[in-house]
A = this chain, B = another copy of it.
Amino acid sequence: MQLRVSASSTQVMDQSPNKTSSGVPTVVDVDLGNRSYPIYIGSGLLDQHDLLQRHVHGKKVLVVTNTTIAPIYLDKVVHALTNGNPNVSVESVILPDGEKYKNMDTLMKVFDKAIESRLDRRCTFVALGGGVIGDMCGYAAASFLRGVNFIQIPTTVMAQVDSSVGGKTGINHRLGKNLIGAFYQPQCVLIDTDTLNTLPERELASGFAEVIKYGLIRDAEFFEWQEKNMHALMARDPGALTYAIKRSCENKAEVVSLDEKESGLRATLNLGHTFGHAIETSFGYGQWLHGEAVAVGMVMAIDMSYRLGWIDESIVKRARDILQQAKLPIAPPETVTVEMFKSVMAVDKKVADGLLRLILLKGPLGNCVFTGDYDRKALDETLRAFCKS
């Protein structure tokens, strides 16, 4: 996969990032040769029907959504697709909500609906929902008739800043997450920040953990902007949300483009994820949201970086402060022990030749490394500092 990003926003967001983007969407162009696509970001974009309609090829659309999102946004999306566009007919399939339904049985419901509706190769699948819906709808679009058009309308911050770039789609197997899937690019991603108004606060904050991550690993300026604007983000200010999502998508696209094969640089997108994954596994999936575990994981990775003498104490403090502003946790659940961390981390995918490689901050704010070359004592000290036993 070749991926380059061109930050050709149609408004000069960097000069006045907090202004509400009424009317003109911010656009991030993901450059993938003949599979390039735009990410539209802004308030009220679902009311700009032309944005969606210009990316619908063929006359039939299948909207894939879930029981939580359908009552709130399905009618709006159907209207956006069909208003002034009588040639298009829209079908929908409403899946149960939750990661536990991200499996082959649920995927078959999408195929069933597509086939019963006699959709052909010129149809378009639209994913309306969070990351689970995006992953499943994308994989269904990749597989139906060996590939049909696909549009993403992500409705969570996590899906907007993480799933909009990279083309990863798929489902879980009972023995592991995301083991079956495809790399498949959408025609466009439409992010209407107004859909975040109905997002529960914990989920909003969970998404901000990933936004904060981009600042910490590679974009000090963005981090500083977040420090000044976290209140606006938590208040769901459309201009602030648009800017944060735009910068996150641009950062992800740049990293992916520089390292398509996930050899090194791309791993840095997983800052905090190794510690976080241990928390999710030990504490039980579904207890904590992904971003909550990542937030604590980042605090632990930063603590370790400091113990190694790789960063200044001010970074430790600023990271904790901004995560707390976002109402994210900064310590693991009390029931998670040092041993639990060690046993989960021992089987991490980033273990090579028995050595666990970690993403750690090093140098001034916005710099990190992916390395197995660190003093094991620092890791032990961090684990003991964060666990009661």
Task: Using CB atoms and an 8 Å cutoff, list the residues of chain A in contact with chain B.
Answer: 104, 108, 111-112, 115-116, 139, 142-147, 168-170, 173, 175-176, 179-183
What are the residues of chain B within 8 A of A143 when measuring CB–CB? 139, 143, 170, 180-182
What are the residues of chain B within 8 A of A175 when measuring CB–CB? 112, 115-116
Copies in the complex: 2
Q: Complex: how many Å from CA A182 to CA B169? A: 13
What are the residues of chain B within 8 A of A183 when measuring CB–CB? 146-147
Q: Complex: how many Å from CA A354 to CA B269? A: 53
The CB with the most chain B CB atoms within 10 A, among A104, A115, A170, A180, is that of: A180
- Given the interface contacts A104-B104, A108-B104, A173-B115, does A145 sit within 8 Å of B182 by beta carbon? no
The residue that A142 contacts in the complex, of B116, B168, B176, B182, with Cβ under 8 A, is B182
- Given the interface contacts A104-B104, A175-B116, does A180 sit within 8 Å of B111 by beta carbon? yes
B176, A115: Cβ atoms under 8 Å? yes
The residue that A145 contacts in the complex, of B104, B112, B146, B179, with Cβ under 8 A, is B179
Q: Complex: how many Å from CA A48 to CA B150? A: 44
What are the residues of chain B within 8 A of A108 when measuring CB–CB? 104
Q: Complex: how many Å from CA A176 to CA B145? A: 11
Task: Tell me the nearest residue of chain B to A170, going by C-beta.
Answer: B146
What are the residues of chain B within 8 A of A111 when measuring CB–CB? 173, 179-180
Closest 3 CB pairs of A and B: A115-B175, A146-B181, A143-B180
Tell me if A's interface is mostly helix, strand, loop or mixed.
mixed
Q: List 14 A-B contacts (CB under 8 A).
A: A111-B180, A112-B173, A115-B175, A115-B179, A139-B143, A142-B182, A143-B181, A144-B180, A145-B179, A145-B181, A146-B168, A146-B181, A147-B182, A182-B182
Distance of A32 from chain B, by nearest CB (Å): 15
Distance of A260 from chain B, by nearest CB (Å): 12
Task: Tell me the nearest residue of chain B to A349, going by C-beta.
Answer: B120
The CB with the most chain B CB atoms within 10 A, among A143, A170, A176, is that of: A143
What are the residues of chain B within 8 A of A116 when measuring CB–CB? 175
What are the residues of chain B within 8 A of A112 when measuring CB–CB? 173, 175
**Known contacts A115-B179, A142-B182, A144-B179; can you find 16 more A-B pairs with CB under 8 A?**
A104-B104, A104-B108, A111-B173, A111-B179, A115-B175, A116-B175, A143-B143, A143-B170, A143-B181, A143-B182, A144-B180, A145-B181, A146-B169, A146-B182, A147-B183, A182-B182
The CB with the most chain B CB atoms within 10 A, among A104, A116, A170, A179, is that of: A179
Q: Complex: how many Å from CA A139 to CA B183? A: 13
What are the residues of chain B within 8 A of A145 when measuring CB–CB? 179, 181
Task: Tell me the nearest residue of chain B to A107, going by C-beta.
Answer: B104
Distance of A182 from chain B, by nearest CB (Å): 6
Distance of A57 from chain B, by nearest CB (Å): 13
Q: Complex: how many Å from CA A310 to CA B170? A: 51
Q: Complex: how many Å from CA A142 to CA B104? A: 16
What are the residues of chain B within 8 A of A168 when measuring CB–CB? 146
The CB with the most chain B CB atoms within 10 A, among A108, A116, A146, A179, is that of: A146
Distance of A130 from chain B, by nearest CB (Å): 20
Q: Complex: how many Å from CA A180 to CA B112? A: 11
Task: Tell me the nearest residue of chain B to A119, going by C-beta.
Answer: B179
